Structure formats: C-alpha cells, structure tokens
A and B are shown apart, each in its own frame.
Chain A
C-alpha cells in the first residue's frame, strides 16, 4: 500500500514523485534510488568525483543507505577541504560550529531540524564573534526579510540585549543546505563558505541536511514543518516557473530557461541562469536543489512508512508517540492494509 501523503497537502505526492518512488524492502530498488539521489546531489554541489570514489570503495556494502550516507559525508568533507573557498575567520567559524551544534540539539528534540531557530542572546556565544579589531559581529546573516522560505521574522525579539546587534531570532534552513537563508539566495549557497583553517561548520550543516535521506531521522522530522516551508517556496516560485516554456528534446533554444520534469533546465550553466521575482533572484541551481531536497524528503518518508511494519518495526514505536497526526494515520493505514 502506498501511504497517503495528501495529509500534508494535495500536491505533496506529486512532489515526492519528482525523484521517483522506491521500496525500502527491495535492496535493488533502494540501491538504485540512493545512488541516483546522492549522485544528483554531488553533481549539483560539485563533489561528484570524490563521491564516485567513496561509493566505489563501498560497492559491496550490505546496508546501502548507510553506505551512501557515509560515502556522501566523506566525499563532501574532503571536497570542501580541497575547494578552499574564500572562508572566514577561525573565530567566526568556531562560533558558527558551536551555535549549529546547539540549534541541532534543540531542534532534534522538537523534531524540527529542517528549519532551526534560536534566540541568539540565550546562547553562550550570543551567536557573536570578535573581529581583529575587537568589535563584535554577528556570526550569521540575520535573515529577517521576506524570502522564499518564509515571510520574515519580525519577532519575538531576543530576550536580552545582543552585543553584536541581534534584534531577531537566528533562523537557519538546514534542510536545504547550502541555501540556508530565505533571502539573498546566490548561485553557490552561502553555507558552503562556512569554513576556516580550523573549523568547518559547513560539514556539520551538510550532515544535518543529509539526515532527511536516512529513514529513521526522516521519521523524526516533523513533516508538517517541511510541508509548510515547501508551500511557501512553491507559492513564490510557481508564478515564475509557470512563465517558462516546457522543455522539448531537440527543440531548446540556447539562452532560455525551461521547465523539465519539475526542475529547471538550460543549455548552459544553471549557476548563471535563474528566476527573478518579488522575493529576489533565485538561481536555477538553487531552485533545483531546493525542490529536490523537498521531494527527496517526502519520497523517503513515503518509502519508510510503507515499509515500516515489516522492514523496521522498531520505528513503529517511535511513530506511535509522534505529535504528527498525519504520520500516525499513515502508519495505521498501512498496518490495516497489512
């Protein structure tokens, strides 16, 4: 039985279909799906080559979900080290790493790792770091303007006065890493620059993003949060995307952006192509990545719920205590269908 994802919205099943359905109980199905999704991720972000090498080392692994996860982490970390992007100071990166650890810890308790929020003034670091002149600066961009993932953050204001000027919560969209901010979306992804000589918060944030592909971690995430952010993203991108012509093989004109199977396509670089709307510029590469992250989340959710009773009954106990009524209903529906 196919679990009904429409509880999260009528458009969610079609969203999940963008990356294809698969059966976790089938090793062949699982291997093909996870290989394809990790390769797509590596290709888009640029770590396809180290990923291929890591996957080759694990080709005989029995647990392919775990193997691809480990290969992906190792490949991304190695690639990120070698890319040597213009990074940041150690002070900022170390502060970021500390803040992310805290936010992930509290987000995990709430089942909300896709978007994590915190009052920065309640953190030990205050989400601030000192520059060389001794001044205090915010460790992250204060992403408060209306954007593609939300309508901005007017409040509540921090409980205490911030020494580096925080007047709003700190909000990070780790589910769509490296596009972690709702506004100012560039072609590269701002979180790829989260690194210094001695700290790599980008790698930790990447790990959190990749958790959506792990069935158990996926189940722990409140899908309602993901669906709400997706709905916002779709509301602000659908009018822009609908203006694009549909791609027809062999008919494409250079320099034009097309819709193709739910994603954007151009005969050139997706990094320099993009959409422009009231919420700002949205590079095509960011659009494709974000849509794929949402789609993959719900595809894994659907496959996990479908297989739950026979593939991982222990997860059933976790679901029984979930605060998500959709999830409980899906699992009950699958159990009833036998």
Chain B
C-alpha cells in the first residue's frame, strides 16, 4: 500500500491516535500455510533465550454463544469460534464476521503470515522501522523494540509489530500487556485477536465510521477517516479492495441479521478484560 500512509500514520503517533496498532493495510503477500520444518516461508523464530510461546488453543464452538453457521462464507470452521469469541469478549455486536473479512484480506487466514520476512518486502520493514523510530520516545519502552522494528507486520490481522506490541498503552500505559513480548507473539492467534479487538474499538470510538467498509479504511490508516481524507481517492481505493475481498470470502455485509450496518463499541469492557479473556497470562519472562 501507499508509502504516503506510512508518513501519515507515523505523524499521528501511537498514543495520540489511541494506540493505532496498524496504520496501513497489508495484503498477505507472505501468507503461506504452516510448514513441517524450517525453510523459506516459515515465520521468523522468536529469540533463542525465550521460552516457547504457546498460548491456549483456539476457542471451540462450545466456547461461544453466537451463531457459527450463517453468513460466514469460506471462513474456516475452526477459526469461526475465535472470531465469534472476539465479538463476545469485546462486546462489539456483529464484529465477528467483520474480523473474518479483515483476516481473510490480511493473511488469508494464515496465523503466521508475515510481511517483511522476504527480500521483496522492504516496504514493510521500512514501515515497522519508522513506526518504532518515530514513536519509541513517546511510548513505554519495548523489550524487543529493535526486533519489532525489523519485523514488518504479521499474524491473522496483518498487525505492524511495534504498534501491536504497544497495544493498550493509551488506556493503561506501562501496564500494557505486550511491552515485554517479542514480535513473534503476533503469530499466536489469540494475541493477534487481542490486538485486533483493541484496534477495532478505537476506530469505532474515535473516528468517523459510517459503515463496515469504513472500518477497513481505518485499518489501513485512521487518517483516511479524518475530515481531510474521508471520501478521497485513497479512502475509495481501500473500500473497493476490501469489498472485493469480502466478495471473495463470501460474507454478505448487508445481512443485517448477522452484521449491523453500523458497529458499536459502546459496551467495550476495557483492555485488561479483553486481554484476560483472549490471552490470559503470559509467561513471567514476557509479562
């Protein structure tokens, strides 16, 4: 996506925009399914001195109350409970299928998708470097800040590493839960889900979001939802590409029985509650 957005996004700063975790859209250019062994296309490995990062398994159908059958298109059956759990935990009614559309667009549902780990993805690494460099002085320190700067973006929702690790800073400051975690934690679907929930809430609470495609515009860059850019060429371009992906995955955004025309985060329970429900606790080395 546009380099202009990188500049726009980083000018906004993390805390200033409510901890914008992902300031511009990434396609899942490096999305590849899990492979048996190390090799090209494998996600980068966490630092060797860290314990293995294995969060709880994906939620199951029995863990959620919401419907997992209607209007999910080609969303994998074993990821639907995660998206529904995100909706239920974040208390953003109708968001489950929207999360599914975003995950499809960003990662093709590959939880270890990474943009920035191949030679052709210099843009992504430039973006994460800029994100870190321009924001490290006004945010709590990241234990793996330099690694996050070199990481690019990744995970189910294509989150840019430094912003992802700062998730929660505007709300709870130095108690934000991922400040000591390595960027590879974004490959854990529950951790990525946490970042995505927080980001969705911030968009809904702080920006002009008239409909569901506007959420994806904000996912690309919150600045595109500002007065200056709303409705402009970049705004329209993001919506167009998003709607193409929505059609490809087969989810009907106009189905009011599963997706309200306008999402609301009015019942947001707060960052700590969402983290506790989705991620739980991290190993002491990371918390």
- Chain A interface (Cβ within 8 Å of chain B)? 42-50, 52, 79, 82-83, 86, 187-188, 240, 243-244, 249-257, 266-275, 285
The answer to whether B188 and A267 have CB atoms under 8 Å apart is yes
Given known contacts A48-B61, A244-B36, is B77 in contact with A271 (CB within 8 Å)? yes
The answer to whether A257 and B36 have CB atoms under 8 Å apart is yes
Query: What residues of chain B lie closer than 8 Å to A82, measured between beta carbons?
Result: 69-70
The answer to whether A272 and B34 have CB atoms under 8 Å apart is yes
CB of A268, distance to nearest CB on chain B (Å): 3
Partner of B69, one of A49, A243, A257, A266: A49
Closest to B114 in A: A255
- Chain B interface (Cβ within 8 Å of chain A)? 33-37, 42-43, 45-46, 52-55, 57-58, 60-62, 67-70, 74, 76-80, 108-112, 184, 187-189, 250
Known: A267-B54, A273-B34. 12 other contacts (CB 8 A): A43-B77, A44-B77, A46-B68, A49-B61, A49-B68, A250-B52, A254-B43, A255-B42, A256-B36, A269-B79, A271-B78, A271-B109
Query: For chain B, what secondary structure do more than half of its interface residues adopt (helix, strand, loop), or is it mixed?
Result: loop
What 8 A-B pairs have minimum CB-CB distances, sorted nearest first? A255-B112, A46-B77, A268-B111, A271-B76, A48-B61, A254-B187, A273-B34, A255-B43
Complex CA gap A251/B50 in Å reads 11
CB of A267, distance to nearest CB on chain B (Å): 6
Complex CA gap A46/B76 in Å reads 9
CB of A275, distance to nearest CB on chain B (Å): 7
CB of B44, distance to nearest CB on chain A (Å): 10
Partner of A269, one of B36, B53, B60, B78: B78
CB of B54, distance to nearest CB on chain A (Å): 5
What is the count of residue pairs linking A and B with beta-carbon distances less than 8 angstroms? 111
Complex CA gap A273/B46 in Å reads 20
Query: What residues of chain A lie closer than 8 Å to B69, measured between beta carbons?
Result: 46-47, 49-50, 79, 82-83
Partner of A43, one of B33, B52, B60, B111: B60
Closest to A255 in B: B112
Most buried by A among B34, B74, B108, B109: B34
The answer to whether B62 and A52 have CB atoms under 8 Å apart is yes
Closest to B250 in A: A86
CB of A311, distance to nearest CB on chain B (Å): 31
Closest to B33 in A: A272
